[in-house]
Amino acid sequence: MKKILLLIFILTIYSLAYGIEVQVGYPKACASYETIKVYGKVETTQNITILAPISGIIRVNSNFSTVKSGQLIAQIYPPRLSRQIEYAKANVKAAYNNLQSTIKLKNTHIATSQELEKAKMLYYQAKNNLEQLNAQSERSKIYAPFAGSLEFLVPNKSSAALNQPIATLTGNSNLWIKAYVAPDSIDKLKIGQTIYYYLNNSKYIGTIAQLSPSTDSSGLVPIFINTNNKALIAGQWVSLEIPISKSHGFCIPKSAISTKGSKAYIYVVTDGVAHKKQIKLINVSNNTAYISAYITNNEPIVTNGVERLKNNIKVKIIK
């Protein structure tokens, strides 16, 4: 036993003197999709009621009784929105012209830096206001979530209130999936976005057909997903994965990650010393970890032997 303890002591002294032997690699810039994982229920498209996403005057796109999936069927115009958009466009143009004029005056030392900054601020404010109004206009468009027979419940060019039933759509015996997501995720989703769902250990692809304008009694937002999978049965539950955003970061070997509690770390080697850095672990796929961290492609990180390291310890790089 004394010999074993002596051997451990000698190895420890050797490591402190010459450095712990480690292997290193370099992070690679890459991108990864974050996903929402939810459950959805398979339902029939026999009959759904389409609700008004905002309040305003409804204008039917055309006279038709059958529609295709994704077809624009109507648009609701909030009071004074068109006039507000035209006014906002004029403001953007005026603010842009003022900014260009101020830049020229600043270059000739007539305008001050403060006047230039004010002109920039006014331009960005006008531009942001126009973008918000255009987004409001886009939300006013109503699309058919699936193919079927359409019947409007309100006359053309009449007033519609938020969440008021405005039409019914009877499907052509297709199936769709209804799922629920948190309200803070709904802005990251869009019509036509690809989703993945799993049934009997098999992976299938669907697309988002409709996003509900508001939460239900559970506090969640319903979304409707198109699928042509004939293996689905109404009433079934399926698990879904919805890619929501593209996160730019780095790809490193999974073996380079060390964890403590809910936090993740890597070791960056500088001048023969391993420095511990906290990272955000985005995703792990097979043996590759997708991370977000304040590092560069040129910084060597320990890829093997992290379990023997601590912060600011001397290391010896081996191949």
Asked if 184 and 158 sit in the same domain, the reply is no
Residue 295 structural domain: 21-45+174-319
Q: Within a domain: residue 195? A: yes
Q: What is the mean pLDDT of each run of 10 residues along the chain (319 residues)?
A: 50 58 90 82 79 89 76 87 88 93 89 90 91 83 82 90 88 79 86 91 91 86 88 82 78 92 93 92 85 87 91 89
With tokens 């009071």, the residue in question is 79
Last residue of a domain, one of 151, 173, 195: 173
- Specify the CATH number for the domain of residue 52: 2.40.50.100
**pLDDT at residue 11, rounded to an integer:** 45
In this structure, what DSSP letter does residue 185 have? G
Do 180 and 311 lie in one domain? The reply is yes
Full-model pTM:
0.38
pLDDT at 147: 74
- 179/288 same-domain check: yes
Count up the domains in the chain and report the number. Answer: 3
Is residue 189 located within the same domain as residue 308? Answer: yes
Q: What is the CB neighbour count within 10 angstroms for residue 107?
A: 10
Residue 306 lies in a domain: yes
- CB half-sphere exposure, 178, CA atoms < 13 A: 13
Relative orientation angle of helices 81-107 and 113-139, to the nearest 10 degrees: 160
Per-residue confidence (pLDDT) for residue 17, from 0 to 100: 52
**191 inside domain:** yes
The predicted structure's pLDDT at residue 151: 86
Residue 278: predicted pLDDT: 93
Statement to judge: residues 215 and 314 lie in one domain? yes
The DSSP code sequence of 41-99 is EEEE-S-EEEEPSSSEEEEESS--SEE-TT-EEEEEE-TTHHHHHHHHHHHHHHHHHHH
Give the pLDDT score at 4: 53
96, 118, 139 - which closes a domain:
139
What are the φ and ψ backbone dihedral angles of 239, each rounded to 5 degrees? -90, 140
Please state, in angstroms and rounded to a whole number, the distance separating the CA atoms of residues 22 and 118: 55
φ/ψ of residue 136, rounded to 5:
-65, -40
| 276 in Cβ contact with 295 (< 8 Å) | no
* Co-location of 160 and 200 in the same domain: no
The verdict on 309 and 219 lying in the same domain is yes
Residues 38 and 183 in one domain: yes
Give the model's pLDDT for residue 230.
73
Cα dihedral value 57, 61, 67, 70, nearest 10: -80
Q: Are residues 152 and 196 in the same domain?
A: no
Torsion, CA 74, CA 75, CA 79, CA 83, rounded to 10: -130
